[in-house]
Amino acid sequence: MSQEERTVKHLRKVLLRVEPIGEDGSPIGKGGTAPFAFVFGVGSQGLSPLEMALEGAGEGEERRIPVPADGVAAVFGHLAPPRLEPRGAGGAARELRVVVERAEPAGDREVIQAMSEASACGSDCCGH
């Protein structure tokens, strides 16, 4: 696989390691990083802030993503965020340290499943 094929872009299955970073710059997650996998670019509302920050990143690349006042879920947008457990006293995450573990072409079934999950907005919206 060429380097171009190992980058984060549309319809790639992306595996990340996500670690919340506190105000003091140290990790606040219990047990290290959380794995997170998704298919890039299938949301009906466009790219999530996470996707925008990762677009074009290669395997092994690290990105630091600021967490807005709305919290970690706002970074993930339509993607269901991984469970990031705080370590007690440490406060809220100031940023997320995200490492691209893998970026590979997604299979047709994975794309369809991801599109279905992205359109299922829950009972707080239209009831899907």
Q: How far is CA 128 from CA 40, 72, 98, in A?
A: 21, 23, 30
Residue with tokens 């690349």: 61
Query: Is pLDDT above 60 for 128?
Result: no
Give the model's pLDDT for residue 121. Answer: 58
pLDDT bin (cut points 50, 70, 90) of residue 108 is confident
Q: What percent of the chain has pLDDT over 90?
A: 43
Give the model's pLDDT for residue 120. Answer: 65
What predicted TM-score, i.e. pTM, was given to this entire model?
0.80
CATH topology of domain 4-119: Chitinase A; domain 3 (3.10.50)
Across all residues in the chain, what is the average pLDDT? Answer: 83
**Among candidates 11, 2, 68, which has minimal Cα distance to 43?**
11
pLDDT tens-digit profile of 41-76?
Answer: 988 888 999 999 999 999 999 999 999 998 889 999
Residue 25 or residue 124, greater confidence: 25
Secondary structure class of 33 (helix, strand, coil): coil
Residue 71 φ/ψ, nearest 5 degrees:
100, 180
Give the model's pLDDT for residue 43. Answer: 84
Give the model's pLDDT for residue 31. Answer: 57
How far is the C-alpha of 22 from the C-alpha of 11, rounded, in Å? 32
Outline where DSSP puts E strands in the chain. Answer: 12-21, 34-39, 62-66, 95-105
